Amino acid sequence: MSVPPIPAALVDMVGRGVSVHVASRDARMRPSVMRGLGLDLDLAAGRITVFVSREQAGQLVLDLSANGHVAVVVSEPLSHRAMQLKATRATLRNAVAADEAVLARYLASMERAVQSVGHAPRMARAMLAHRIEDLVAVSFTPDQAFDQTPGPKAGAALGGQP
């Protein structure tokens, strides 16, 4: 079985620094959403991992645990270019010390991204501050990808990706 590709546009965006929001829903279709504190792409496996704070994202973690449905929106602060990725089989695990390198790379990319729009790097450090023992890693293979950039193509499926 071949691995669905992670959209090339996402790989490009992540390299420049993207803001991440993670969402799910409960059994009554009520949404839960939280800022992601980190992002990692496993291109070989076709999997994406985002990190959220268990303390701040309690309902989101419960919803993801209950149904595995996840929607992740990534957006570039400078251009507002945005993409939404959806999956129905997300898995959760506690973050571990080995994840700190991923989180540090993500923080560095966000420091550059917020500087590109005129903010000090300390803004990114404040937004993404965490304790590793509080973080939950949410991993998924995208089933769907959509353009979410404001404008006439917002909501359009990304052609040929996943």
Question: Which of the four CATH numbers 3.40.50.300, 2.30.110.10, 3.50.50.60, 3.40.190.10 does domain 8-147 have?
Answer: 2.30.110.10
**How is residue 102 written in tokens?**
């991923």
> Distance between CA 112 and CA 148 in Å, rounded?
22
Structural domain boundaries in the chain: 8-147
Print the SS3 string covering 122-139. HHHHHHCCCCHHHEEEEE
pTM (two decimals): 0.92
Looking at residue 157, what is its pLDDT? 87
> Distance between CA 140 and CA 85 in Å, rounded?
10
For the chain, list the strands marked E by DSSP: 19-25, 31-35, 38-42, 47-53, 70-75, 82-87, 91-94, 135-140, 144-147
Per run of 10 residues, the mean pLDDT along the chain (length 162 residues) is 67 85 98 97 93 98 98 93 94 98 96 93 95 98 90 82 47
10 close to 83: Cβ distance less than 8 angstroms: yes
Looking at residue 159, what is its pLDDT? 63
In this structure, what DSSP letter does residue 98 have? G
